[in-house]
Each structure stands twice: as structure tokens, then as C-alpha cells.
Amino acid sequence: MQIVDVKQFVSTADGSRRYAWKTIPIGEALKIAEPRLRCPECKGIIALRRRSEDGAVPNRGEHRAKNRGCSLGDCFDGVKRLAANPIEPDEDSIGE
Ligand SMILES: [Zn+2]
């Protein structure tokens, strides 16, 4: 996947800040030291992978456990479902 959720402090419309999930591009996530991550769609645990040296495989996020119910993964079966052990599924992600 090319986008990931990272838990971070975000500014809200009223000027306050809160700790929330934010969906960001993979390139930004790689710049964060020890980010707290989850899949934006199925809320599953993901790991960041850097691109291969020859560039054939890009920077990406990968599910730790395959989820056939996630369209951001590589084995989607067409029916969206949360991960088996979702991370804070009740908290929505803030878009970019
Ligand atoms: Zn997913």
C-alpha cells in the first residue's frame, strides 16, 4: 500500500491539538522515527518496507498478517472486512 495511518498530534479547526490517526503517504511515514502505524482501511498491523536497491519494488506498507478483506493488500477477495486484530477501529482516520 502507498498510504498508511500514523498516530500523531494534529491541529484541529479550532486551533487545539489532539493525538489522532492520520492517513499519510508512505514517503512521509518513512521519515518518522518509530511511527505508530496501522492500515488505513482494515486497521490491521502493518510494517514499512523500503524500496529495493534497483527500484523494482517501491517503498510500501505491508500487512503483518494477510487480510483477504482489505483492498489495499495483495490478496483482496472483493469483500471488505476489518483485520482480525484491528488497532483502535473506533477511531477514524483524518485524511490528508
Ligand atoms: Zn489493510
Q: Around ion ligand 1, which residues have CB less than 5 A away?
A: 39, 41-42, 44, 70, 72
The candidate with the shortest Cα–Cα distance to 30, out of 65, 70, 3, is: 3
Distance 76 CA to ligand 1 centre (A): 9
What is the rounded distance in angstroms from the CA atom of residue 54 to the CA atom of residue 56?
6
Q: Where are the domains of the chain?
A: 1-90
With 70 as the cut, is the pLDDT of residue 84 above it?
Answer: yes
Grid cell in block for residue 10? 494534529
Distance of CA 37 to the CA centre of its chain: 6
Record the pTM. 0.90
Specify the 3-state DSSP secondary structure of 29.
helix
pLDDT digits (tens, 9 = 90+) for 21-36: 999 999 999 999 999 9
What does the pLDDT read at residue 96? 60
What does the pLDDT read at residue 95? 79
pLDDT digits (tens, 9 = 90+) for 34-76: 999 999 999 999 999 999 999 898 999 999 999 999 999 999 9
Tell me which H or E stretch contains 9.
strand 3-11
With 70 as the cut, is the pLDDT of residue 78 above it?
Answer: yes
Between 68 and 94, name the one with better pLDDT: 68
Grid cell in block for residue 75? 490478496
